[in-house]
A = this chain, B = another copy of it.
């Protein structure tokens, strides 16, 4: 029948990716894990690591390499929208509550893994990098990749465990949010350094500072005025267009300066008050499309690029374990130490450390940027994807261990909730 074309394959690929991600996501949710892990694994399953290995023809039909640019484009566009939504949901007021503890814990939860990542880079650079990549870029990037926390996954785990409104939950949320902001600033810096030639690095840093300054000093007051006016009624078509255009321009400017487009989208989202009608309108309009259609494309794109097969030797898998251990120790250790220092109980400090170790989707976004810029090799990329999966998977288990009996009780509540959810799902 009709000749095969790109559009047709993209439609089919999206369908396969969404269905597979949804099913695996449900499965992981059923066993008390964040669904995002299932969605990431769905991407890997459909990629060269599994389907490509055992049924190359099926993969060539479902996800042919020829559509990679389009899947990649949907993925990039989706992540930009997603980061904008994350920014919109960011409650900057959180930082002000228990400000000292939040700032200290968030900084330490970034700094310690960042430094450990930098140290690890000395060891990994000769093994997994080439001379084409300057060590500075490699080390900085590895540091950032170790330091990231997945704010959305963490928020989901907190509410799944029913602790998002406890003092521990709100402290974890505010630390993760600040961690996010700091990590993205750091990433913007690293990407700027990596993309620029020697000397023009200052241009990028200068441009980034100027951009952030303009956004906060000029765009923010305007945004607040627009928000205040449109809070009276529904956001009009003009306002919605204005927000879309500003978001595109902000993402474009960030990309043009040499930091990444997603940083611009996130920053604009963060500037718009999270409890405004505009924020609610955009979240309601975009969230489903982004998380149901666009993010699975991102997971598929990540999966297409994750070649677990090239991590071959026992030594390489050992390196992968070292990465996981360093990432975990750095994150949990850094968070725990700072939390104890600010006077949290041993129990809460350990819980915070475990929670901040969730990397999820954020890690994948950063890794893809590193792969795009050729700072990390496909082999290191595959190892880091495994690290992201393992640290995210470990969170609920470790949390149950740390929280002991209490967590057990809550788990029962949770499974009852899940059964109810499953019943609703069956009704479809």
Which positions in A face B, CB cutoff 8 Å? 1-3, 5-8, 10-12, 14-15, 18-19, 22, 69-70, 73, 76, 195-196, 200, 203-204, 207, 226, 229, 236-242, 244-245, 248-249, 251-252, 255-259, 261, 284-286, 288-289, 292-293, 424-425, 427-428
Chain B residues, CB < 8 A from A245: 15, 18-19, 22
Q: Which residue of the partner chain B has the closest CB to A14? A: B248
Chain B residues, CB < 8 A from A259: 2
Q: Do A5 and B255 have beta carbons less than 8 Å apart?
A: yes
Indicate how many identical chains form the complex: 2
Of B10, B226, B428, which contacts A428 at CB under 8 A?
B226
Q: Which residue of the partner chain B has the closest CB to A26? A: B238
Q: Do A289 and B289 have beta carbons less than 8 Å apart?
A: yes
**Contact A252 to B204, CB < 8 A, known contacts A7-B261, A427-B229:** no
Q: Do A237 and B15 have beta carbons less than 8 Å apart?
A: no
Q: State in angstroms the CA–CA spacing of A234 and B73 once bound together.
A: 31
Of B15, B255, B258, B425, which contacts A238 at CB under 8 A?
B425
**Contact A249 to B15, CB < 8 A, known contacts A7-B76, A236-B424, A288-B240:** yes
Q: State in angstroms the CA–CA spacing of A257 and B288 once bound together.
A: 29
Q: State in angstroms the CA–CA spacing of A3 and B229 once bound together.
A: 39
Chain B residues, CB < 8 A from A204: 1-2
Q: State in angstroms the CA–CA spacing of A420 and B286 once bound together.
A: 29
Chain B residues, CB < 8 A from A14: 248
**Contact A261 to B293, CB < 8 A, known contacts A240-B288, A288-B285:** no
Q: Separation in Å of the A210 CB from the closest CB of chain B? A: 11
What are 26 inter-chain pairs, A to B, with CB distance below 8 A? Answer: A1-B204, A2-B195, A3-B195, A7-B255, A7-B261, A10-B73, A11-B249, A11-B251, A12-B248, A12-B252, A15-B248, A15-B252, A18-B245, A18-B248, A69-B69, A70-B70, A236-B424, A236-B425, A236-B428, A237-B292, A238-B424, A240-B292, A242-B428, A285-B285, A285-B288, A285-B289
A interface secondary structure, majority = helix
Q: Do A252 and B8 have beta carbons less than 8 Å apart?
A: yes
Apart from the given pairs A69-B70, A244-B292, A284-B285, 4 other A-B contacts in the complex at a CB distance below 8 Å: A6-B73, A10-B73, A11-B251, A11-B255
Q: State in angstroms the CA–CA spacing of A76 and B7 once bound together.
A: 8
Q: Do B292 and A258 have beta carbons less than 8 Å apart?
A: no
Q: Which residue of the partner chain B has the closest CB to A236? A: B424
Q: Which residue of the partner chain B has the closest CB to A226? A: B428
Most buried by B among A203, A204, A241: A241
Q: Do B18 and A255 have beta carbons less than 8 Å apart?
A: no
Q: State in angstroms the CA–CA spacing of A245 and B194 once bound together.
A: 39
Q: Which residue of the partner chain B has the closest CB to A200? A: B1
Q: Which residue of the partner chain B has the closest CB to A290? A: B289
Q: State in angstroms the CA–CA spacing of A18 and B6 once bound together.
A: 26
